[in-house]
Amino acid sequence: MTINKTDFGQNFIWGTAQASYQTEGAWNIDGKSPSSWDTFSQKKGKIERNENGNTATDFYHRYEEDLNFLKSMNFKHFRFSLSWPRILPNGTGEINPKGVQFYHKVIDKCLELGLTPWVTIYHWDHPQTLENKGGWTNRKMVDWFSEYTEFVSKEYGSKVKNWMILNEPLTFTIMGYMLGEMAPGKKGINNFRKAVHHANLCQAKGGRIVRKNVTNANIGTTQFTSYIEAHTTKDTKAAERMDALINRLFIEPSLGMGYPESKLFFLKSMKKVMLPGDIEKMKFDFDFIGLQYYFRTVIKKSAFMPYVWAKEVPPIKRGAIANQMNGEVYPEGFYQLMKRFSDYPSIKKVIITENGSCFTDILKDGKVTDNERIEYFKSHLNQVIRAKNEGMKVDGYFVWSLTDNFEWDKGFRPRFGLVYVDYKNNLNRHIKDSGIWFKNLLK
């Protein structure tokens, strides 16, 4: 399975991605206040092995080292997120100069190394002070988020032209406000309904603010996706409901299509939290949509799962190949989702803003042989080539992730990085064979 850089076209974007809470550490220094994830991860039993991101991979102090790794692998683009409580410790109002300066240093180091910075404004870590007021369940979040976006787009907009508004709003709303398995740990359909609607409003409002403040901005937002298939023909309607929840809930409102309530009937109740004019307010003409794909989900109907009346048939029960987090390795699903997003007439461009996988990596004599990950990348990049050859509007690919990091509720066990982080030995870094593979591909 041979892949050449030329297969993707001359202007194809190659980068890696990461997020503030998962990598930065420095959780309570230089004026930063606690985030919703700081609070959640320090509650006993919320994270595997009771781990937290207090230190994470210490990107805050080691960003130059990590960016040099990125440069050495011949990538040209770096996607990272801003920590809201590092910049605005109270969520609104007073600015924290040391936090603001940290991101200037990261951006300037990127530019010095010839790397193009791509900023994600929100990757799940809002200030705890705002969560105390309801967080995403409070419609005032639109105002709070607008103030934050106004500041960062003006502050960094002269140096950063590529912006993503939200990272995977589906994940932080369903896991954080419906199921309670991620920060802030709230549960219930009422919390979920409010969080979804306010995130959709912020997604579009943030886009309008960046458009106003940043000359020649390239503006997108990122969506979690999974290729949904029915387990049997009897499960078709259940799969359609799950697909509406996972793949349509945030993209279609941004395109002016409203909520997919014809497939997911409980969305009719979104009217309870909507105000006149909200359908138009959720719409924004993004320059690109960030598609994030990891695995396929096979669905069967279930009388025990309210609202969607559907549940997953895990890969292990189907004899399918899965990664360290039990996500099925299924490249064909990647192609199908690129096709689907490209088929929306209003989507101008698709960029793969996250793709990667976690496997059991073993460090031995300073080397990490991760052939499973290399095969994962080969199989998925071949689907990108297939999509481009068929004329789909896919213009870039960001690996998740540059280094191993804190993988949310799973802690440090799953490893996604091209660079191994030795958590037992001073967080020392070692480039994996997959990183060397990309280095050779992109030279």
| Residue in 82, 103, 75, 87 with CA at minimum distance from that of residue 18 | 82
Question: Cβ–Cβ contacts within 10 Å for residue 334, how many?
Answer: 26
**Cα→Cα distances 320→232, 236, 297, 298, 313, Å:** 16, 20, 11, 11, 11
* Residue numbers annotated as active site: 168, 354
Tokens of 137: 């369940």
Q: What does the alpha-carbon distance between residue 380 and residue 331 come to, in Å, rounded to a whole number?
A: 5
Tokens of 321: 């190949």
User: How much helix, strand and coil, in percent to the nearest 5, is found in the chain?
Assistant: 45, 20, 40
| Residue in 423, 428, 424 with CA at minimum distance from that of residue 406 | 423
DSSP 8-class letter at 353: E
Q: Which residues does residue 430 pair with via DSSP β-bridges, in sequence order?
A: 420
How does 391-418 read in b/e, with b if 16+ C-beta sit within 10 Å?
A: ebbbbbbbbbbbbbbbbbbebbebbbbb
| Residue in 1, 6, 3, 9 with CA at minimum distance from that of residue 388 | 9
Sequence-separated (6 or more) residues with CB below 8 Å from residue 167:
19, 81, 120, 122, 123, 124, 222
Q: What does the alpha-carbon distance between residue 21 and residue 57 come to, in Å, rounded to a whole number?
A: 10
| Residue in 128, 123, 24, 28 with CA at minimum distance from that of residue 81 | 123
Element at 85 (helix H, strand E): helix 84-87
The three-point CA angle 239-241-243 to 5° equals 65
Asked if 411 and 362 touch (Cβ cutoff 8 Å), the reply is no
